[in-house]
Amino acid sequence: MTQPQDEAVARTAADAPGPEAEQAVAEQAETETDQAVTEQTETKQAGTEQPAVRPGARHRAPEDDEAEPAFPSAGPAGNDTGPLDLADPAVLHSALEALLFVADGPLQLTQLAVAVQRPAAEVAQALAEITAELDRRQAGWQLRPAATGFRLYTRDRFAPVVEAFLLDGQRTKLSQAALETLAVVAYRQPVTRARISAIRGVNVDGVVRTLLARELITEVGSDPETGGGLYRTTSTFLEKMGISSVDELPSLAPLLPELDTLDLEEL
């Protein structure tokens, strides 16, 4: 080897980095590569970055951005669950029919409007449409204005069928509730419906209607203090009992507990 070549090899050997220098150079190159990749990725995402989604949040498709209805649908046909849209005339008609069906007496226009939370004029229009629809198809009941409001009545043409059904029902036995109510009327007559309810501790409206329909009791005026109707037994009751007067009813004294057996707190 010539002298110039020897000197070049010597300079190259002297300038060559050691193991520590090579490791530092490799780490620096790796860092620079990572930075370059990061910058390229951010550049590609610029202008198309999507808002961050919270963990567990539902992803909304573009069509989900449309406004949802104020009252969700009640579901498939035949499914009557879900919120009611009383602004829908059909739903309003059904709601009014349900209220009129369960009412014991006539309902005023204002009562119905408050119940369905709709304007009185709109409710009046709906009642007129219900009346027309029932008349058009000759339904078994009809909606008629009463003295103090509106009420459902059975249609006159079906009176024979209804009468036959009710008369047939009179041959059935009285329920325990009807017997208890009839006993209260028999022993406390004349008595108001409120007093009967107080004695029995339950509402007796339905039972009183049954006894009236069977002509076992009748209304005989009103109480001067409360204005409530007074009820007493009828001749039909005496006939069924086989007696000629209520004075012949058995005494209740033997059925009452002895006074000395009652707790003072109960007196």
DSSP per-residue letters across 43-81 = HHHTT-PPPP--TTPPPPPGGGGSPPPSS----STT---
pLDDT of residue 166: 75
> Residue holding tokens 């408050």?
114
Dmax (CA) for the chain in angstroms is 158
- Domain segments of the chain: what residues? 89-157, 173-251
What CATH number has the domain spanning 89-157? 1.10.10.10
d(CA 67, CA 75): 18
What is the full DSSP assignment across 170-210?
TTSPPPHHHHHHHHHHHHH-SEEHHHHHHHHTS--HHHHHH
pLDDT of residue 79: 54
pLDDT of residue 72: 45
Per-run averaged pLDDT (10 residues), the chain, 267 residues: 46 47 52 52 48 44 41 48 86 93 88 94 94 93 85 91 77 84 93 92 91 92 87 90 85 67 49
What's the sign of the alpha-carbon dihedral 131, 133, 134, 135?
positive
pLDDT of residue 258: 61
Is 185 within 8 Å of 231 (Cβ atoms)?
A: yes
Topology agreement, domain 89-157 and domain 173-251: yes
pLDDT of residue 28: 55
pLDDT of residue 67: 40
Quick: pLDDT tens for 200-234.
Answer: 999 998 899 999 988 899 999 888 888 888 999 99
Q: Tokens at residue 82, please?
A: 């879900």
pLDDT of residue 48: 45
What's the sign of the alpha-carbon dihedral 253, 255, 258, 263?
negative
Give the right CATH number for 173-251 from 3.30.2350.10, 3.30.310.50, 1.10.10.10, 3.40.50.2000: 1.10.10.10
> Residue holding tokens 């107080």?
198
pLDDT of residue 257: 61
pLDDT of residue 120: 93
pLDDT of residue 9: 42
195-214 burial, b for 16+ CB within 10 Å, e for fewer? bbbebeeeebeebbebbeeb
Residue 250 bridge partners (DSSP): none
Sequence-separated (6 or more) residues with CB below 8 Å from residue 218: 212, 231, 232, 233, 234
Residue 217 bridge partners (DSSP): 233
